[in-house]
Structure 1
Amino acid sequence: MSDYAPGSGDGSGHVIADLRSDTVTRPMPAMREAIARAEVGDDVFGDDPTVNALQERVAALLGKDAALFMSSGTQSNLCALLAHCGRGDEYIVGQLAHAYRYEGGGAAVLGGIQPQPLDNQPDGTIKLADIAAAVKPDDAHFARTRLLALENTWNGQVLPAGYVDAACELARSRGLATHLDGARLFNAAVASGRPVAELARHFDSVSICFSKGLGAPVGSMLAGSRELIRRAHRARKMLGGGLRQAGLLAAAADHALTHHVERLADDHALARRLAEGLAALPGVTVTPPQTNIVFAQVADDRGPALLEHLRSRGVLATGLIGLRFVTHLGVDAAGIEHAIAAAREFFEV
């Protein structure tokens, strides 16, 4: 069971269902108690026992040799790119992937690493033929293609297992390393019924997030070989990511891993209920959700007006790429029913 109080929103008492993202959750008593009890040390010296234990736990969960605590998913992905690639190298990535589109261009700006974005298909995959064609020959005219980066989940969708196998095999056959942005990898595991280690096994590095879905206030983790993590540790230092008594944060992440993974199925069920309710409204087209993210399109450019109406009724969502609603441990069934009723009211006016 979650220890989060649904409907607490932004603290004003007026938000009934905050569906902007699964990052809006707040640590409630049990997690705060875990933070307060955490044994800490100076992690820059490598002697914070709570951080060390969490890194070992995540490495084992993902089937990797080592892991490194990061302050954010953006930092984790960037450290992975810097560990895999040097200046003048290139990574192949989806045009709509988070690591390419929503992380400030860090690989290019800070690492001199050229992204080679390719079109994502509706299910988040990148065509194998497109990947193969994008690998550059060993020629001074071209950046050196070093890495394939995939994302799971992608817009809430679980990458097909057969596709991941084939894409990673293609990468290996062309001498490329592989990185997985698995910010919501536990959502993918729960939705598919497969262990996270199985979802991660083909990748040389994997990034997971504790503040998306799992409900921790801060933190991500990068896992891979010991040598890759050694290089990522150096990159993290350059990026200002050396933290001192980080065990306070690691304790929250550890609590989330222990108590908030299996309950992700509840978020997925609420997303399906929300999608069902929205799809019944006139002029609304909904992509059936696989995990905790619901996308909806509203006819006649009424999306912004619907968002504003929902806000006036205590329901928050985003509209950057269609209407986007994300369920999480801070939203309960009553909040979802309220959101559906508020949307229905908009179309009945």
Structure 2
Amino acid sequence: MSTEISPAVQQVIDQTRFDILSKTHAVDNASKREEIARTFISDTVTVPTEEMYTYATLATLGDDVYFEPSTAALEAHIAQLAGKEAALFMPSGTQSNQIALRTHLKQPPYSVVCDKRAHIFKYEAGGAAFNSNAHVVPITPANGHHLTLEEVQENVILGTDIHIAPTELVALENTLNGTIFPQDEIIKICDYAHSLGIKTHLDGARIWHVAIETGKSIRELCEPFDSVSVCFSKGLGAPIGSCLIGNKEFITRARWFRKILGGGMRQTGILAACAAYALTFNFPQLPRVHALTKKLEVGLEELGAIILSGAETCMLFYDPTPLGINFEEIGERAAALPEPLILGGSRLVVHVQTSEQAVDDFLSVIHQLAEEKKAAGWVQPANGHKTSAFKDVYVRRQVKLTK
């Protein structure tokens, strides 16, 4: 058999070649890691370490549409960890949540009850309507922190009135904007929903933070729900991936929807290995993450800023206006540092690759700007940081965030 390549074919081959690695590839990656250590926009910006890369190269080489051993092992571990029968690896948390909704919801009309700030309502491009033909009933929690049983009871739609879409799913989120949903309230809500034959789903993308902060096991935190989504990127520092968890029948049907929506991937072993590495080596770093977030909160309070939402886990929201400064000024000064800080407004997110120096430098920026304002004649409002008015405004307004 001849293997001689014609000039025309060789030309096609030559045109197709592409080397993605630049001459400064290693230096660029090192610089990126330094940048990420000083980025407070989100915990999705984390990148694999050299050690995670090395571990990933040892994964199996199966095809996940058929069977991939490393991925199957990860799914089995996550299912066992959550106390459920099965789990399914997903490319993203959004797909995991959307497939959960689509799997639970069978035949319209139906509605989903959730927090008005929930990811499935605000940040998944209207996926509940697009993918599941579902009406969403968003609730604004009166306490500004979490939904209560009474609020769910008031908004669940029952009966046979043809004018309204009956509730078939209650979806909760833990954490939500970094705050921890009290487990006793979760149990009440899920027990109530189940008593009516209504399914429950947990967007537990950052459930790892809840476990670290409360000491409750992942199993205990997931137990009240029919399905749970957990993320390996948010918080844990893996490059990609989430898992949807439930009983065997649920996951079998979810696997079908994953294929329909284009989520059936092939050699996912390297991604599963990154997730396993993150669970083993990055999860134990979350106490440090929480401590740094608390340091930010205490530092901002001492300077006189208002804390809109406190450092329960890895993020907080603040208002610098009592100091006479705004987010634009803070961002410009932070970006002008010899080692810039990357900020995103009122939300500060700490992650496993955040450096303590970045926290110190951020607080220094706020301090310097505040001192400059004082020197220019700014007078801080008396006890401004102790009032609840700013928090009330925060609860009422729609804060645009990138999750």
TM-score tier by shorter-chain length is: over 0.9
2:82 aligns to what?
Answer: 62
What amino acid is the match of 1:92?
A: V
Q: Give the superposed CA RMSD.
A: 1.8
Aligned partners of 2:172 and 2:203 also within 8 Å: yes
Q: Alignment partner of 2:243: what SS?
A: strand
Change (3 A) 1:165 1:330: same
* C-alpha separation in 1, matches of 2:210 and 2:302: 27
1:116 and 2:137 aligned:
yes
Measured after TM superposition, the shift of residue 286 of structure 1 is: 5.1
1:188 and 2:213 aligned:
no
* C-alpha separation in 2, matches of 1:177 and 1:270: 37
1:306 and 2:296 aligned:
no
Aligned partners of 2:141 and 2:151 also within 8 Å: no
Equivalences, count: 338
What amino acid is the match of 1:65?
A: E
Change (3 A) 1:173 1:14: closer
1:316 and 2:338 aligned:
no
Q: Which one of 235, 256, 264 corresponds to residue 257 of structure 2?
A: 235
- Residues 139-198 of structure 1 show CA distances to partners (whole Å, capped at 9, x for unaligned) of 332213100000001111111121111111111122211000000001000000110110
Change (3 A) 1:296 1:248: same
Aligned partners of 2:293 and 2:314 also within 8 Å: yes
Q: Which one of 24, 28, 45 corresponds to residue 24 of structure 1?
A: 45
1:76 aligns to what?
Answer: 96
Change (3 A) 1:208 1:121: farther
Measured after TM superposition, the shift of residue 10 of structure 1 is: 6.7
* C-alpha separation in 2, matches of 1:265 and 1:84: 35
| Structure 1 residues 134-283: aligned runs within 5 Å | 134-136=155-157, 137-283=159-305
Aligned-pair identity in percent equals 37
1:333 and 2:333 aligned:
no
* C-alpha separation in 2, matches of 1:21 and 1:50: 28
| Structure 1 residues 33-72: aligned runs within 5 Å | 33-45=54-66, 47-72=67-92
Aligned partners of 1:20 and 1:324 also within 8 Å: yes
Q: Alignment partner of 1:39: what SS?
A: coil
Q: Which one of 371, 375, 379 corresponds to residue 348 of structure 1?
A: 371
Q: Alignment partner of 2:65: what SS?
A: helix
Determine which structure has the larger helix proportion and give its number. 2
Measured after TM superposition, the shift of residue 335 of structure 1 is: 1.8
Could you tell me which runs of 5 or more consecutive residues in structure 1 were left unpaired when the two chains were aligned.
1-7
Change (3 A) 1:256 1:12: closer
Deviates more, 1:118-127 or 1:57-66: 118-127
1:127 aligns to what?
Answer: 148
Aligned partners of 2:171 and 2:201 also within 8 Å: yes
Q: Alignment partner of 2:48: what SS?
A: coil
* C-alpha separation in 2, matches of 1:155 and 1:278: 18
* C-alpha separation in 2, matches of 1:188 and 1:279: 24
- Residues 265-301 of structure 1 show CA distances to partners (whole Å, capped at 9, x for unaligned) of 1100000011111112234435331111021112267
Change (3 A) 1:241 1:168: same
* C-alpha separation in 1, matches of 2:35 and 2:68: 40
Measured after TM superposition, the shift of residue 110 of structure 1 is: 2.0
Change (3 A) 1:9 1:325: farther
Aligned partners of 2:102 and 2:132 also within 8 Å: yes
Aligned partners of 1:282 and 1:347 also within 8 Å: no
* C-alpha separation in 2, matches of 1:189 and 1:122: 23
Could you tell me which runs of 5 or more consecutive residues in structure 2 were left unpaired when the two chains were aligned.
1-28, 373-403
- Residues 304-349 of structure 1 show CA distances to partners (whole Å, capped at 9, x for unaligned) of 3223322333112222xxx111111111222211111122122222
1:5 aligns to what?
Answer: none
Measured after TM superposition, the shift of residue 123 of structure 1 is: 5.5
Change (3 A) 1:252 1:133: same
Measured after TM superposition, the shift of residue 217 of structure 1 is: 0.4
What amino acid is the match of 1:336?
A: V
Measured after TM superposition, the shift of residue 225 of structure 1 is: 0.6
Aligned partners of 2:36 and 2:45 also within 8 Å: no
Change (3 A) 1:309 1:35: same
Aligned partners of 2:37 and 2:355 also within 8 Å: no
Aligned partners of 1:124 and 1:155 also within 8 Å: no
Answer with 1 or 2: which has the greater Rg.
2
Change (3 A) 1:289 1:32: same
Deviates more, 1:62-71 or 1:307-316: 307-316
Change (3 A) 1:170 1:12: closer
- Residues 251-270 of structure 1 show CA distances to partners (whole Å, capped at 9, x for unaligned) of 10011111111211110000
Determine which structure has greater relative contact order: mean sequence separation of CA pairs < 8 Å that are 6+ residues apart, divided by chain length: 1
Aligned partners of 2:100 and 2:227 also within 8 Å: yes
The alignment's TM-score, normalised by the length of structure 1, stands at 0.92
Q: Alignment partner of 1:56: what SS?
A: helix
